Amino acid sequence: MREIVFDTETTGLDNRADRVIEIGGIELVNRFPTGNTFHEYINPQGRPVHPEALAIHGISDAQLAGKPTFPEIAARFIEFIDGAHLVAHNATFDMGFINMEFERIGHPAVGLERVVDTLAIARRKHPMGPNSLDALCRRYGIDNSHRTRHGALLDSELLAEVYIELIGGKQAALGLELAGQVEVVETRFTVEIRTLQRPAPLAPRISGDDRAAHARLVAELGENALWAKLADRLAGREAV
């Protein structure tokens, strides 16, 4: 299975007006980095970098002067991602910009069936968050100390490590590169879990007064209250 973990930097947040100014991506085959990468700074063709975006990625208009435009790098990027699933963090943002750039050059959009959003995976796996890339690096012990600003290639490299952790890939497989091909060797482990019994049960935390107060409250709720039905069911079990 071939996947491209990628990231973009842009002049701003509006994909219809703003432009992609950096793309970075790394190739995974069977969840193992192959060493094949893509990285380009892109001239936004007259669209200035918004100050708020500049504060995030640090890419200035002066740095982009003389860089190739998206139409000039599009063929290489299309070839790089051809046939692969695309993995991005908050993929809606990145794919919105990529597909808008494709629309401008008359190339078909990338379908959502090819896209994996690591932010969505992280939110399901860690619903209490936080789930930013930096937060996930801290959670999984991935060194991101060299990430002082956002950068498309560096963020792609970090995201690839996070992605493999999110899906449990490091625990499930070991990748070995042989003769230019990637062979995945699966390893399985058996874990024995033993539960110990307490020598004496813990003392109940609910006092007799608490039980009596609860019974009075249930009586006030009426016979159709859920608590009353539960009490009848428990009484039936005890009778059996």
Q: Where are the beta strands (DSSP E) in 140-228?
A: 173-178, 181-186
Catalytically active residues are: 150
**Percent over 90 (pLDDT), the chain:** 65
Global pTM exceeds 0.85: no
Q: Give the pLDDT score at 173.
A: 39
Beta-strand pair 181-186/32-41: unpaired
Instruction: State the DSSP code for 200.
Output: S
Q: Which of 3, 68, 82 is nearest to 40 (CA)?
A: 68
Q: Give the orientation angle of helix 152-166 with respect to helix 118-125, to 10 degrees.
A: 40
Q: Which CATH architecture has domain 2-186?
A: 2-Layer Sandwich (3.30)
Q: Give the pLDDT score at 229.
A: 76
Domain boundaries, the chain: 2-186, 208-239
Q: Give the pLDDT score at 140.
A: 93
Beta-strand pair 20-29/32-41: antiparallel
Q: Report the first-to-last Cα separation within the chain, whole angstroms.
A: 57
pLDDT < 70 positions in the chain:
148-149, 169-196, 234-240
Q: Give the pLDDT score at 195.
A: 59
Q: Give the pLDDT score at 177.
A: 38
Q: Please, what is the average pLDDT of the chain?
A: 85
Helices and strands counted in the chain (H then E):
10, 7
pLDDT tens sequence across 28-60:
999 999 999 999 999 999 999 999 999 999 999
Q: Which of 73, 70, 113 is nearest to 91 (CA)?
A: 113
Q: Which residue type occupies 164?
A: I
